[in-house]
Amino acid sequence: MTDEFPARAARQRIIRTEGGLGRIPVTGVSPVLQGGAYPVKAVVHERLLIQAHVFREGHDAVNASVILTAPGGTQRRIDMVQVEPLGLDVWQAHVRMAAEGDWTYRVEGWSDPWGTWTYNATKKLPAAVDVDLVCMEGRDLLERAAAQAETLRAPGAAHLLRGTAESVTPEADVSELLELITSAPIRRAMARFGPRELVSPTPDYPIRVERRRALYSSWYEFFPRSQGATQGDDGQWHSGTFASSHERLEAAAAMGFHIVYLPPIHPIGSAFRKGKNNSLTPSPQDPGSPWAIGSPEGGHDAIHPDLGDFDDFDEFVSKARSLGLEVALDLALQASPDHPWVGEHPEWFTTRLDGTIAYAENPPKKYQDIYPINFDNDPVGIYHEVLRIVRFWIDRGVTIFRVDNPHTKPVEFWDWLLQRVHETNPEIIFLAEAFTKPQMMSALGTVGFQQSYTYFTWRNLKWELTEYLTELSGEMASHYRPNFFVNTPDINPFFLQSGNPAAFAIRAILAATMSPTWGVYSGFELFEHEALAPGKEEYLNSEKYEYRPRDYDAEPNLNVLMGTLNRLREAHPALQQLRDVHFHHAPHDKVIAFSKSDGDDVVLVVCSLDPDNTVESSLNLDFAALGLPGARQVAVFDELNQERYTWGEEAFVRLYPGRPAHVLHVTAE
């Protein structure tokens, strides 16, 4: 039940014990982050589950409502329902918010006199116990509800309630009277206008509602310097540019991607420059790692001259927008030894006892071409310089930042920065590239990162994927939005190192259907898979250290599949949400089956986890989880293969490398 009313309206007497439980106890409210210190994450029109325990002494009925307050102050009441098992006193409501901004919600527990009366009436009237008193109490409650309906300008409901009150008399036929007071129209009217007593509210908890792209998006990563790069007969390389990358924008848009992500586009240092395959002895032709930011030509607010100038960048962003794409820029807070910061602000780095500046290390890996920033030496200066840089690129049309290694910077800093940006530019999205300990990844999401990289890259087995997606779609969804990248310039997954095209197809299908946001680093569609060395999850001839122009139309490729997956995601709201996921039993350990739903849209995915062999398995479908609890059969349309089937609660699938999955739109038969 939903009702709108002004925030200042006093609807019922409010009972609250400051610092403790109210007259009607409400406990275990969720989702709540850090006691309400941080807002719960949601996007426009996302379905958000709110839950609480609501109970009271004795046997009188209780009820509960969610009071949702919009950024402008307008409030909406959504009545909760008690869920099985009833003895646990769990109440739930789903809410959707239609506008961006900072919302709040609270849960109100309240005494339900109508619920108490109807229970007593159904017991006492048939037994002829206290008939006069029972009818008197019922008429009083109905009259009070009618008055409330008039106050809220609902004359039809007021007329219905008053007419019903007149029928509640000792002379009425008991069976007819009980049928009347329990009828659907009366239940609805009393739910909306009936008395609510001893209303006991929780504190107001914050919800930050962001644009839908913060939850649902498809990312495509490429290096502009490789796009259109050429090598002369003398071995001299000529870099690709922003201008030569327009073709890649068109290709990404044609495949249905929403966001193109660029590695750092800034000048690259010369000191300790890395050569091919991370060599310490570069040749004069080696362009260096884009993450070694800074040279005499500038730092984080400059563009590498090989890529073009600011006019070229502006044209690139404009071209992307014309294609419906947004540009995500890498935000790597570190410096090469040649960065202007090193001379102007040496205090921003860590000086070791031997007088040298500490370079980046992740033993046994060493990054001599990169100096990490020490955020504790001059926090005020560093914090405001980073904010300046972020706003500099926002002014040039960048709407998304992929943040490199945020877990190596203080969480307190991100808390400060993300809030400052939100205050002026709430449309900006930050993606945390943090493959690290769970508590740090969770904390980064809590303080405001809209999206986060995940462990998906290393989850290949059925039990791993089931456990991980269950975790992500549960309590974590209130603060952590996953981005399932299938590969990155740093990660060449073991699952893909065979080069088997079916392995690439399986991982793309899983990423695109399991998470509302997924991403691809270019080369994936061409089945690039050669590892630097056995047992290493790094690419041989990594693009991080050299130019890698590609023929993206070379056969075979995954261009069509990736485009199909993005088209299906766009067509099905079920694939654009995170919180509603159900797994269905498939006995074969190399077959995974799960469904996602949003409203009437239900999608069932059945995918092989074996890229080398045919797998056959029965399926046991949970029709209730599919939103069709009374059905005997369901109609399923395979969106990948354009085939229709009729399935019962038991079905059978045969999947093979050339057709490793079904992505099924489910409807009642």
Does 326 participate in catalysis according to the annotation? no
What are all long-range contacts of 309-318, with beta carbons under 8 Å and residues at least 24 apart?
Answer: 310/396, 312/241, 312/242, 312/243, 313/242, 313/265, 313/396, 314/396, 314/397, 315/242, 315/243, 316/224, 316/242, 316/243, 316/245, 316/246, 316/249, 317/396, 317/397, 317/398, 318/397
CB 121 within 8 A of CB 178: yes
Number of Cβ within 10 Å of residue 266's Cβ equals 26
Which position among 404, 525, 546, 580 bears the catalytic label?
404
SS (H, E, C) 69-81: ECCCCCEEEEECE
Say how far residue 323 (Cα) sits from the centre of its chain.
24
Task: Specify the 3-state DSSP secondary structure of 402.
Answer: strand
Sequence-distant (6+) residues with CB within 8 A of 446 are 33, 34, 38, 479, 480
Does 369 participate in catalysis according to the annotation? no
CB 221 within 8 A of CB 519: yes
Distance of alpha carbon 652 from alpha carbon 435, whole angstroms: 38
Structure token digits, residue 111: 């005494």
Task: Specify the 3-state DSSP secondary structure of 377.
Answer: coil
Number of Cβ within 10 Å of residue 471's Cβ equals 15
CB 558 within 8 A of CB 520: no
CA angle 439, 445, 449 (to 5 degrees): 145
CB 22 within 8 A of CB 16: yes
Distance of alpha carbon 36 from alpha carbon 31, whole angstroms: 9
CB 610 within 8 A of CB 588: no
Distance of alpha carbon 620 from alpha carbon 568, whole angstroms: 24
Number of Cβ within 10 Å of residue 668's Cβ equals 14
Distance of alpha carbon 159 from alpha carbon 423, whole angstroms: 49
CB 25 within 8 A of CB 56: yes
Distance of alpha carbon 176 from alpha carbon 126, whole angstroms: 11
Which position among 433, 598, 601, 639 bears the catalytic label?
433
CB 218 within 8 A of CB 256: yes
Number of Cβ within 10 Å of residue 341's Cβ equals 21
Distance of alpha carbon 498 from alpha carbon 494, whole angstroms: 8
Residue 312's alpha-carbon distances to 318, 322, 647, in angstroms, are 10, 15, 55
Tell me the one-letter amino acid at 157.
Answer: A
Number of Cβ within 10 Å of residue 636's Cβ equals 25
Q: Give me the active site residues, please.
A: 404, 433
